[in-house]
Amino acid sequence: MNTFLKKYKEAVISFVALVGALLVEHVIIFEGSQYVYLMLYGLSYLAVGGSVWIKAFNSLKNGTLFSEFFLMGIATVGAFAIGEYAEGVAVMLFYTIGEYAQHGAVHKARNSIKKLIDQQPDVATVERDGETLDLHPSKVNNGDIVLVRPGDKVPLDGELITDHASFNTAALTGESKPMTINSGEEVWAGSINQDTAVRIKVTSSFKDTKLSNILNMVQEASKRKAPTQRFITRFAKVYTPIVVWLAVAITFLPYLFIEPYVFQEWFYRALIFLVVSCPCGLVISVPLGYFGGIGAASGNGILFKGSDYLDQLRKMNILFMDKTGTLTKGSFEVQSVQTYNGISENELITYAASLEQQSSHPIGKAILGYKKDLELYQVENQQEISGKGLKGTISGKNVLVGNLDLLKEHQVKITNNDHTEPYTYVHIAIDGEHEGTISIADEIKEDSNQTIKALKERGIQKLVVLSGDNQEVVSYVAKQLGLDEAYGNLLPDEKYKYVEEAIGNKNVVGFIGDGVNDAPVITLSDIGIAMGGIGSDATIETADVVIQTDHPSKLPIAIDISKFTHRIVWQNIGFALGIKILVMVLAAFGIATMWEAIFADVGVALIAIGNAIRIQSRFSERGTLRSFFMTSENEPEESHHQACC
């Protein structure tokens, strides 16, 4: 309750004072009561109107006369001048409530994006003077030793001190196959340590890492309004001065034609006309529609960084996609096991897993995880042959586990090498005989197939995969998913060229990816989409849309939200303009009162909020009115009504 009063104290004070004034004026009447209720009306007005007048004077200093703040101030002071105290206060009070609602929507979207980016790791564990310290990477010096635990990201470029280790570099290079790095070789910031803890000697400062260089190359997109918002802002700038002069005409022109002319009557009509004419209800209704869409998307694990991108997504007709981490899981699994010469599958896996049990390579981990209940053999004379595999002795038998080059090196005759699928193949030989082959691959995500079908149903005319993986693997994945085109062996600048060529000719081009190498092309595309769960900082920060759950099936949902939001926005525009024009006409003929004017101005804005909530109700069970009023206590509230000015 205290938090509520702190956030909305101006409106609470105004409301309490207004109720008190109405009671003293109409119910509790006593000698001198007029002074009491006038004081209460004044307090009620100042509580919510003071900030409006400050904004009005600031607008005047900036050369803007016809701001909504100035119009609202003049109209309400005029209402006081002719004795319509309650109506004058009500205009300001409901205007303030509309402000609260708008701020709640704005800050909810901002805080969701900030929270996502802040989840990325930004700590380096440094060994200094026999102690380990957790520092920000910018505080680490060249030559320092950093400790990177399994599953953690490497904070800075450096030289591996540990004998060897496996790193997932997919977010940096686009390659799905993890890299085995030996002592003395370079490790890049942003790589993920796959297995045991490793020690790295830092060779680059925080601002000079490969990750930082890519971030510096990509400028963060400036905030953009949706085209509809830009149109409404331009419209308001023309519309506002026109209605001001019409209000002046309503006040004085009847003097020439009406007999008897009563100034107070026509002045009151002009004040009503002015309140109605304030474009805030119209200008609020548009961004609130978009923020309703942003809120619904957030509830579904999708973050839009601006209404422009929400509006653009519905028009996207070409989508380029990264493969690893976007369409595939980015992790290795055993796909099949082939056995020869009568050996059983369990026995073959046991031989292979026994040699791999000390390995830190993800392929070895995939074999070990395939059948966890097998009892492994004791291995003697085990040796790793770099880039080829492992060899060792089990119960007096010489066992080889590795690629074709390993078997050829030991003059083992290949029983079968007729493999059509683009997998990684691990061959097992025992005492010089090829006994079997284990195929291992990066799996396609469970929802990738349904995603592609759903995207085609939603009007995406061309679906293309761009990847750093070899062409054979990329073509295979594209064929499995029914994509239109597939290009592999690509460097980041080559991906850039493909997207650059597609932009224009009335195309709206999107790109979805997760690696640092995708950041430049994500920035280039009309709609840049990042997979946020495993995506790099650079990709998340430069993307227009972030899918937090790494499920590509969220993208069709995002398109649905974009299209529905567009409909809601135009419903709000039509409703706001229709009611406003109707009440303005009624005011000119003396039929409408200040209460109708309040409804036409602030009431329309509140109804627009309710209409925007329909977006959340449709796409998320968590969408409630309360979410629109939950603002950040730490962020300054800046008025988006400035668009009227």
How does pLDDT run across 342-367, given as a tens digit for each residue? 999 999 999 999 999 877 677 888 89
Residue 422 preceded by cis peptide, ω within 30: no
Closest to 513 in 3D by CA, of 549, 550, 460:
550
Which amino acid would we find at residue 249?
A
Q: Lowest-confidence range among 6-20, 106-120, 274-288, 586-600? A: 106-120
User: Tell me, what's the pLDDT at 626?
Assistant: 37
For the beta sheet containing 131-135, the strands, ordered from the edge strand earlier in sequence to the opposite edge, are 131-135, 124-128, 145-148, 198-202, 158-160, 186-187
Cβ–Cβ < 8 Å for 319, 455:
yes
Average pLDDT over residues 51-57: 85
User: Tell me, what's the pLDDT at 278?
Assistant: 66
Query: Can you give the three-state secondary structure of 518-581, one letter per residue?
Result: HHHHHHHCCEEEEECCCCCHHHHHHCCEEECCCCCCHHHHHHHHHHHHHHHHHHHHHHHHHHHH
Domain ranges within the chain, ordered by starting residue: 2-116+223-296+559-644, 330-444
**Nearest-angstrom CA–CA distance, 25 and 46:** 19
Specify the residue for token string 């990325």. Answer: 120
Average pLDDT over residues 511-534: 82
Higher pLDDT, 517 or 621: 517
Query: What's the whole-number average pLDDT of the chain?
Result: 79
User: Tell me, what's the pLDDT at 634?
Assistant: 39
- Which active-site residues does the annotation give? 322
- Is pLDDT above 90 for 433? yes
**Nearest-angstrom CA–CA distance, 523 and 544:** 8
What CATH number has the domain spanning 330-444?
3.40.1110.10
pLDDT class of 176 with cuts at 50, 70, 90: low
Which letter does DSSP use for residue 323 in this model?
S
User: Tell me, what's the pLDDT at 109?
Assistant: 46
Cβ–Cβ < 8 Å for 348, 415:
no
User: Tell me, what's the pLDDT at 428?
Assistant: 96
User: Tell me, what's the pLDDT at 631?
Assistant: 36
- Is pLDDT above 90 for 557? yes
User: Tell me, what's the pLDDT at 223?
Assistant: 41
Dig out the tokens for 311 from the structure.
Answer: 């509006």
pLDDT in tens, 453-473: 999 999 999 999 998 777 888
Max mean pLDDT among 210-224, 413-427, 619-633 falls in 413-427
Q: Angle 362-370/345-356 helices, nearest 10 degrees?
A: 140
pLDDT in tens, 253-299: 988 888 888 888 888 888 777 777 766 656 666 766 777 787 778 77
User: Tell me, what's the pLDDT at 625?
Assistant: 34
- Is pLDDT above 70 for 578? yes
Strand partners, 180: 166
Cβ–Cβ < 8 Å for 557, 296:
no
State pTM to two decimals.
0.61
In percent, the amount of the chain with pLDDT more than 90 equals 27
CA dihedral 155, 161, 165, 168 (to 10 degrees): 20
Q: How many CB atoms lie within 10 A of CB 308?
A: 22
Q: Which residues contact 627 (CB under 8 A, 6 or more apart)?
A: 104, 108, 295, 616
User: Tell me, what's the pLDDT at 175?
Assistant: 55
- Is pLDDT above 60 for 642? no
